[in-house]
Chain A
Amino acid sequence: MSTIASSIFTPDTAARFDKLATIYPLKRSALIPMLLYAQDEIGFVSDAAVAEISQRLDLLELDVRNVLSYYSMLRTVPAGKYNVQVCTNISCMLRGGYELLDHCKNKLGIGHKGVTPDGLFSLEEVECIGACCWAPAVQVNYDFHDDLTPAKMDAVLADYAAGRGKDVK
């Protein structure tokens, strides 16, 4: 393993990455988890994160960017502290997913991939998140909210705004 003199990550994450690079038959397998965990910590995958991860896994930065650009959850610009992801795929659409998306747009005053000026919320229209039987469904960061209505959505947003929302990492 390449040793990292001074990691940009917190000691916990750095230790986790040290371990991740050793558990697989090929260490490159750690790439996608590392990118996602880096994003969880920084809020997006920064240039510095790309540099450190490529060093950790003995990859070219180009290799890392190539993979980074493929996966829809990975981003290279910051999102809001709470990224509100509204599913509008078929099962959700049939139960009001688009109305919910419109409601969030109006409520937050931002569009798809927009961020509120205070940086608290961002909004994304997403594809099926595997909660079709509890539609319409929304994920705020990694936390699922099921069977929503505009009123329930307001309560969810209010909880996050007040710092009461769950934040699974």
Chain B
Amino acid sequence: MKFATTVIIGAGQSGLAMSRHLTDRSIDHVVLERGEVANSWRTERWDSLRLLTPNWQSRLPGYAYQGDDPDGFMSMPEVVRFLQRYAEVSNAPVETGTLVTRVWPLDAGYAVSTNQGAWRCRALVIASGACNIAATPSLSAGLPHEVASLTPMQYRNPDLLPEGGVMIVGASASGIQLAREIRASGRRVVLSVGEHVRMPRTYRGRDIQWWMDAIGAMDVRYDAIEDIERARHLPSPQLVGTAERETIDLNSLRKAGVEFMGRLVGLNDGKAHFSGSLANFCALADLKMNRLLASIDEWVSSSGLADRFPAPQRYQPTVVDPQTKLSLDLNDGIGTFIWATGYRADYSWLDVPVLDRKGRIRHDGGVISAPGMYVMGLPFMRRRKSSFIDGAGDDAADLAAHLSLGLTRAAA
């Protein structure tokens, strides 16, 4: 069994940021990665995907975007190069092609078995990602066999889809981006809409991400907000990164010819059934967007910067057709279902009792109750930005400090 003081599982931005901080603290460690650096960005994303966060926001400890298009949005090959280069300049001790198959507790630390031999460590950082598995609702089992069933992790581009119309379930970032692209390819697209988060790409002359960063929304801590459970399960915003800085929402998709249904609530006898709650979900999203815009306006006025930005504005409320249908006959030309219903983490290899009844890791801002064990990259883990590239740095700094203190205490 090989030994490292700390084992980090996963070489995405989370694992690499943590590695950088451990190196700065001279804590010996290894990063075990089943694929290559940035494996999720290499293998689990569709062809056209660009980040929905602008280039300037790709900031990691001791490293940041240096190109000449700070307001642009990276393509996947660009994200991969960005992270690969980060691993190189940080001299991150990454062991690629190393799949962790089991982690279990030892007297003082953990044992980690992999397809490349076993490791022993005193501290363990789980940076294996929050989006390992595309979550599909149990009712997906009722889909007729003739209809193809895909997740955004399997989808690549419209040309590879089977014949026919496409039903996309879920109107968060993944769902609306796929709806836009598949509709543009000339297909019929039906989008099933539940809870969603609407945002304009730009507001008062700046990118919405710039505003959320400026007003401090991305830095809000997990222990400073009332209903953290809810905040952690909020859907991703309806944003897309395009050169034209296009705003994408249900109104723009409607103009493009996408059809809407409520939340999918049943699949049987070749029919899909939808909730009558569409109007309310749209009202909730409009109100929530307006609260965000109002908090930006307040920040601008209270900072005395009103003359530096264009005037406030509000957007057309989401149009909901009162004739929206509640069911859809799948024989009526629907060839594919895409389940854009969110992602979840895979901890099937974790043999330490730290999961809750829903299989999620119990943690306090990334600190797990098992001694010396940490997690990274979960939604709103320590801060609103925790699951974003831009959030890995601050979380890694905090958790590396905690980890280091724990090692010192144990040694004393």
Q: Are chains A and B native binding partners rather than an unrelated pairing?
A: no
Binding site for B on A (CB under 8 A): none
Binding site for A on B (CB under 8 A): none
